Amino acid sequence: MSDNTPKRTLPDRLDSPLKAAFYSWPSLLLAVAIAIFIINSFASPYFLSPWALSDATFNFTEKAVIALAMALLIISGEIDISVAGIIAISSTMMGVALQFGADTPTLVAVGMLTGLICGAFNGALVTKLGLPSIVVTIGTMSLFRGISFIILGDQAYKGYPESFAFFGQGYVYWVISFEFVLFLGLALVYYILLHKTNFGRYIYAIGNNPIAAQFSGVRVARVKFVLFCLTGIMAGVAAVLLTSRLGSTRPSIARGWELEVITMVVLGGINILGGSGTIQGTVIAAFIMGLVTFGLGLLNVPGIVMSIIIGALLIGVIALPTLLNMLRDRLKQ
């Protein structure tokens, strides 16, 4: 390269949409997902059966449902570590409602309403009192799960009605489970909300620069409050699905899920510092985590070992662009 060419030239036009899509994070993830799928189908003869694949979806749909809302929250520059705590308290409240003889629709309403209240509580603490969400939600995580422990102690609620089991165990058509359909439906809703509405643009604006967004007339506090409420409701929905699938409630339900949900979101290419990321990425990341877990499960690899791979994947995919850049710089020199 001759010395008088400038190091960086300004492009006179944007990359073509096709080229941009090809180089985007979701396409990289999709390639990883397809690779995992192919490796899995070679590694185990049982992998490609429709029922096995259907089972695989149960591994991640409940977490993925929360990840959808968490993605929006993280893009806006906040985080919610209390989601697993919200599942515990929502599930417990459903159990309490059951003791009062609630029917299935009431149970679902109680679960989602509890989630909404918890989310609103987080949102109020963060937006009204101006507290950092990461520590506030560590606090509410203990508080919410703590309330479950106070109510339940070492007991468990059982005996949910027959019709309630549909949400976590039912199939809509052949091998397509209700959970899976619900997840895909919600993913579409969140895709439209984030990528096709003004509200979605506000979220990006807030994540990139909350002060500029505020001066541009975006109601920052209200948007954030709504996002906390949405995350709460999604945790409530996950509580309904999980309680229905397990058929019982213990205060230790869904313990440790907060970190898995956040891993899913970050793996999906959402910047943990806020401001960028897509729903497509999050959805594909959910599939990757589900496929890795299930594929290794078929090979009799214990669940905890899979966590090594998930953790390495998380660091790896984020380090990869930086490493490539460093390598490129070194080669240029």
Partner 1 sequence: MKNLLKSREFWLATGIIIIIFGVTLRAPGFARFANLADIFNNTSMLIILALGQMVVILTRSIDLSMAANLALSGMIVALINAAYPQFPIPLLMLIASLCGLALGAFNGILVWKLNIPAIVVTLGTLTIFRGTIFLIAGGQWVNASELSDSFIQMTRHNLFGLPLLSWFAILIAIAFFMFMTRTPTGRNLYAIGVNPTASVYAGINVGKAKFISFCISGLMSGFCGFLWVSRYVIGSVEVANGYELTIIAACVIGGISIAGGVGTVVGTILGALFLGIINSALPVINISPFWQMAISGSAIILAVILNARGARTKGRLILKQKNEAET
User: Given the rule CB under 8 A, which residues bind partner 1?
Assistant: 81, 125, 129-132, 134-136, 138-147, 149-150, 152-154, 251, 255-256, 259, 262-263, 266, 272-273, 302, 304-312, 314-315, 318-319, 322-323
Residue in the block written with tokens 């791979």? 309
Q: Give least dist CB 59 to partner 1, A.
A: 16
Smallest distance, partner 1 to C-beta of residue 274, A: 11
Q: Which is nearer to partner 1, 75 or 237 (CB)?
A: 75
Q: Inter-axis angle of helices 83-99 and 133-152, to 10 degrees?
A: 30
In the complex with partner 1, the residue whose CB is nearer, 151 or 184, is 151
Nearer to partner 1, 140 or 231 (CB): 140
Q: Residue 15 burial (CB < 10 Å; 0-12/13-18/19+)?
A: exposed
Query: Tokens 């990321």 sit at which residue?
Result: 277
**What element of type H or E holds 226?**
helix 220-246
Nearest-approach distance from CB 244 to partner 1, in angstroms: 25
Q: What is the dihedral of CA 91, 97, 98, 100, to 10 degrees?
A: 160
Given the complex with partner 1, which of 30 and 138 has the nearer CB atom? 138
By beta-carbon proximity to partner 1, the closer residue of 89 and 205 is 89
What is the residue whose two structure tokens read 């929905």? 237
CB 95, min distance to partner 1, A: 15
Nearest distance from C-beta of residue 151 to partner 1, angstroms: 9
Nearer to partner 1, 2 or 322 (CB): 322
Nearest to 293 by CA among 283, 305, 280: 305
69, 119, 136, 287, 314 from 125: Cα distances, Å: 18, 10, 7, 33, 30
Min dist CB 275 to partner 1, Å, is 13
* Closest CB to partner 1 among residues 168, 277: 277
Q: Which residue type sits at 282?
A: T
The residue (of 177 and 263) whose beta carbon lies closer to partner 1 is 263
- In the bound complex, what is the minimum distance in angstroms from residue 146's beta carbon to partner 1? 3
78 neighbors 206 (Cβ within 8 angstroms): no
- As measured in angstroms, the least distance from the Cβ of 308 to partner 1 is 3
Whether residue 145 contacts residue 116, with contact meaning beta carbons closer than 8 Å, is answered with no
Q: Which long-range contacts (CB under 8 A, 24 or more apart) does 271-275 make?
A: 271/74, 271/75, 271/207, 272/74, 272/79, 273/77, 274/74, 274/75, 274/76, 274/77, 274/78, 274/206, 274/207, 274/208, 275/75, 275/77, 275/204, 275/207, 275/208
